[in-house]
Amino acid sequence: LEIAESTNSLLLQRSVEHDFPDQRCKQVVAAELQTGGRGRRGRSWLSGLGDSLTFSLLWPSKCTVHALSGLSLAVGLAIIRALTRIGVQGVALKWPNDVLFDTRKLAGVLIELHGDMLSPSTVIIGIGLNLKLSGGVRDRIDQAVTDIAGITDHMPDRNHLLALLLRELKAVLDVFEQQGFQPFQEEWMRYHAYQDRLVQIDFPDGTVKHGIASGVTPSGALQINTPAGMLHLNSGEVSLRGV
């Protein structure tokens, strides 16, 4: 599409209205421009015309909500694998949904579910990946960001990169559907941005905790070693940052 408010919202709406030909098919919507791109918890994803890849995949998953808890981590790995194919190195993963380069945010993943909470009928996987952000967009983002143009001399063709991302996503989802996050655990840890580092965790109720990030479990929970013992963070509703 040339323009969409949010590709995630569009696919969510389609799945609510059953407005697609075959509910068993995966579908992808990509937009040149999003006017209301969304991140987690009501936050915004900002981009300008053609300066990022912004797209969503509707995945008619058979997974339970519980099994889906590691999905955003596995999707992060699909992004890393696609970037590796175009020669981009040095990218890292921030639990649960960000791709970083040198602590700057390069890409984000937004997973939303539609249907029964125990067994959702569809999963919407949204990805925003910065290609070449204009100064105007950068100035409006309230954290350190980067783009592909800033980290490689060889700017990839956008369509080629989108195709690579979709291919890697399909490979990851095929395995995830059968075996969950466990087969990706070791690979994810290799890219973990905060492994063995002191981090701060902000909980939705305002509580703040500190500890050493010590990897993820086979289900994708983040383990934090605190003075009070090991914390397992399952919910993507907490925010993490290095200190």
Q: Is 132 in the active site?
A: no
Which entry of ligand BTN, ligand ATP, none binds 61, CB below 5 to 8 A by partner kind?
none
Tell me how far CA of residue 165 lies from CA of 3, 24, 30, 53, 173, in angstroms.
21, 21, 12, 10, 12
Other Cβ atoms less than 10 A from the Cβ of 63: the count is 20
* Under rule CB under 6 A, residue 103 binds ligand ATP: no
Q: At what angle do helices 158-179 and 71-85 cross, to 10 degrees?
A: 140
* Under rule CB under 6 A, residue 67 binds ligand ATP: no
**Nearer to ligand ATP by C-beta: 40 or 192?**
40
Q: Is 140 in the active site?
A: no
Other Cβ atoms less than 10 A from the Cβ of 151: the count is 17
Beta carbon of residue 226, minimum distance to ligand BTN (angstroms, whole number): 25
* Under rule CB under 6 A, residue 127 binds ligand BTN: yes
> Would you say 92 and 193 are in contact if contact means Cβ atoms under 8 Å apart?
yes
Candidates 27, 97, 122, 185; binder of ligand ATP (CB under 6 A) is: 97
Region from 6-14, 20-28, 192-200, 234-242 binding ligand BTN, contact rule CB under 6 A: 6-14
**Nearer to ligand ATP by C-beta: 45 or 191?**
45
Q: Tell me, what DSSP letter sits at residue 154?
A: S
Q: Which helix (H) or strand (E) holds 76?
A: helix 71-85
